Amino acid sequence: MTATHCPYCALQCAMTVTPAPSPTAVAEVAGREFPTNRGGLCRKGWTSAELLVHPERVTEPLLRTDDGELVAVGWDVALARVAAEIRRAQAEHGKDAVGVFGGGGLTNEKAYLLGKFARVALGTSRIDYNGRFCMSSAAAAANRAFGIDRGLPFPLEDLAAADTVLMLGSNAADTMPPFVQHLAGAREAGGLIVVDPRRSATAALTADGAGLHLQPAPHTDLVLLLGLAHVVLAEGLAHERYLEERTIGLAPVARSVAQWWPERVQAATGVPAPLLRQTAHRLAESARAGSCYILTGRGIEQHADGTDTVTAAINLALLLGLPGSAHGGFGTLTGQGNGQGGREHGQKADQLPGYRKITDPAARAHVARVWGVPEASLPGPGLPAVELLASLGTDDGVRCLLVHGANVAVSAPDAAAVRERLRALDFLVVCDAFLSETAMEADLVLPVLQWAEEEGTMTNLEGRVLRRRGAVQPPPGARSELWIMNRIAALLDAPSRFPEDPREVFEELRAASAGGPADYSGVTYERLDAGEALHWPCPQGSPGTPRLFTDRFAHPDGRARMIPVRAGAPVTASESRPGTFHLATGRLLEHYQSGAQTRRVASLAAAQPEARLAIHPGPAARLGIDDGAWVRVRRAAEARGSSAGLPEVLCRAELATAVRPDTVFLPFHFPGTGSANLLTHASQDPFSGMPEFKTTRVVVEPCGKEQP
């Protein structure tokens, strides 16, 4: 029996894995007592071991032939081909002709070495990762407000004392079910407040006096937050002493919210003015005499103004005196398993290990010393994910791409265009345990280890560093990404070292992160194996920092920045022909990310076997759409005139009063003609590079009972 953690979300539930008696049998998984999950697991965690012996597992390198088939080859042949394609692309088009796309599920060791591999072995600036689609807006907002970005700057257990929790754009009841138990105190006190256009499973927790559900029109979260801040200031609810002692920028923020009185907010959002006032007073009373927390999730972040929306939530929290307070706090619920650690050590286009900025001369000098390379040899910042993907196969863009732990053919916005760009590459290498939709486009697929087959560390949503431990033997042909990078670096005659032992990599990570915002230098495998709870920053000799901001924020003067933000004109779905809606995307209980894992678990797939578009019964009746009928969904701007050759989604309708009449909901979990990201736009937040996932205007048309 081996103690480890779940391979899915950033809650990183503790579990034990007991090997099966035969190599083809499923290992036994059990929940383990731990602060985040308290021994519980969700159905994804309970079934996670099934993937370890799945018959579709890739167990040897697969190289595409001239006939278009993927055929098995040996590792020597596969790696020699990778090195040759890298050399060819860079000889013909320059260093940046080779790109790397990483993932928020990689261990800290793999994320760190991948960043080093890109910048030292490849000499390219073209690296980014799928966390750009997840946490980037919240990270950008936290960095400019607090000077540092850690999803939860407090232990999750602190929520137990809360009598009020405001959750904005998070459906944790489906995406991380064991989290819900931490909301018990707020629900018992009638203080769980959920903001979501959809009556999600989390919003349903507010029933029977447990709290409030605010159901604003799509893409009006920013206006709602400005309205709450207006009430706090106009009605004397702000924590004036906290604002004076711990923040700067109040005056411009006060001016920016002055125009958003409750009745005007009601007109824009649909949330009644009395409910807005009730919410603001509840938050202020709890912040003053109880324990109040404000938490954000992807629903308000995955917008082209996501950074500003999270900033508005931070401003509200600062007005109430919450961040760093004994009476509550502000945080963001990280999504991917290592979404926190994955963005701290070099996968992002603009970062070096320890959450250092790649443009900072001191940071570059420090990391170059650890790596033993000239500082001038390190490339500058690269391109955020959307721009990186758009550059694939272009004359001055990336010609050879290496993908680790991501399925961009399903998860990226404007997915049809992304697939076209993947096919335009000279050479695509995908490291994966399965033939994901992205791997199916590859010229070479390299089989890698899964979670229970490898050693390493992960960092959960609290900034707590955890040990991932190998519990079962991998298939003979699979290899760790660390081993793969080691071998390719050697074939390229790369400078510096690329260890394949995770402990060696972590020791180098400790040195590279030392002194940075995300300092791991005091974290060791020995301390983690001894059971110490180590939250970064954790310098040498430190017990770690479970709670940030108790004395000061991470800006040089110790004060948080309040930054005024402004809402644009609300987007309306009614300005087009009948059948036009806002499309919201998300996940269901059985889903995880693009489904490359969960679609292969029989019980999870059986529970949600196909894409279904949730649509309110009222507009469905007007359009002649019955429950279970097939519908065609197109972007609204593309629905006028000829639709030949344009992306569209075909799926069944599911009549649901949980969605607003002006909104439809589609999970982004499915590939093919049911892929929601065929419809989403690649427009980006100017600060974070986050795509606009949550508000696409679409036209829905009935297709009849049978699949078209």
CA–CA distance, 627 with 705 (Å, rounded to integer): 9
Instruction: Report residue 159 CA to chain centroid gap.
Output: 22
CATH number of 152-332: 3.40.228.10
Provide the 3-class DSSP secondary structure of residue 536: coil
pLDDT, one tens digit per residue, over 555-570 is 999 999 999 999 976 5
pLDDT, one tens digit per residue, over 100-153 is 999 999 999 999 999 999 999 999 999 999 999 988 999 999 999 999 999 999
Provide the 3-class DSSP secondary structure of residue 475: coil
CA–CA distance, 516 with 286 (Å, rounded to integer): 35
pLDDT of residue 67: 94
Burial 201-231 (b: 16+ CB within 10 A, else e): bbbebbeeebbbbbbbbbbbbbbbbbbbbbb
245: pLDDT confidence band, cut at 50, 70 and 90?
Answer: very high
pLDDT, one tens digit per residue, over 405-438 is 999 999 999 999 999 999 999 999 999 999 999 9
pLDDT of residue 590: 87
pLDDT of residue 638: 53
pLDDT, one tens digit per residue, over 649-686 is 999 999 999 999 999 999 988 899 999 999 998 899 99
Kindly tell me if the per-residue pLDDT of 571 is higher than 70: no
The stretch 482-505 carries a mean pLDDT of: 98
pLDDT of residue 141: 97
CA neighbor of 293 nearest in space, from 320, 261, 268: 320
pLDDT of residue 649: 95
Kindly tell me if the per-residue pLDDT of 572 is higher than 60: no
CATH class of residue range 2-53: mainly beta
Domain ranges of the chain: 2-53, 62-124+346-529, 152-332, 580-704
Kindly tell me if the per-residue pLDDT of 242 is higher than 90: yes
H helices present in 541-699, as ranges: 602-607, 617-623
Q: How many C-beta atoms lie closer than 10 Å to residue 541's C-beta? A: 7
Kindly tell me if the per-residue pLDDT of 574 is higher than 50: no
CATH number of 580-704: 2.40.40.20
Of the chain, the percentage scoring pLDDT greater than 90 comes to 89
DSSP per residue, 77-93: HHHHHHHHHHHHHHHHH
**Which of 233-242, 566-575, 601-610 has maximum average pLDDT?**
233-242
pLDDT of residue 385: 96
CA neighbor of 166 nearest in space, from 335, 334, 330: 330
CATH 3.40.50.740 fits 62-124+346-529, yes or no: yes
23: pLDDT confidence band, cut at 50, 70 and 90?
Answer: confident
Kindly tell me if the per-residue pLDDT of 363 is higher than 60: yes
CA–CA distance, 669 with 590 (Å, rounded to integer): 10
What pTM did the predictor assign? Answer: 0.96
Name the average pLDDT for the chain.
94
20: pLDDT confidence band, cut at 50, 70 and 90?
Answer: very high
Provide the 3-class DSSP secondary structure of residue 629: coil
pLDDT of residue 575: 44
pLDDT, one tens digit per residue, over 326-361 is 999 999 998 898 999 998 999 999 999 999 999 999
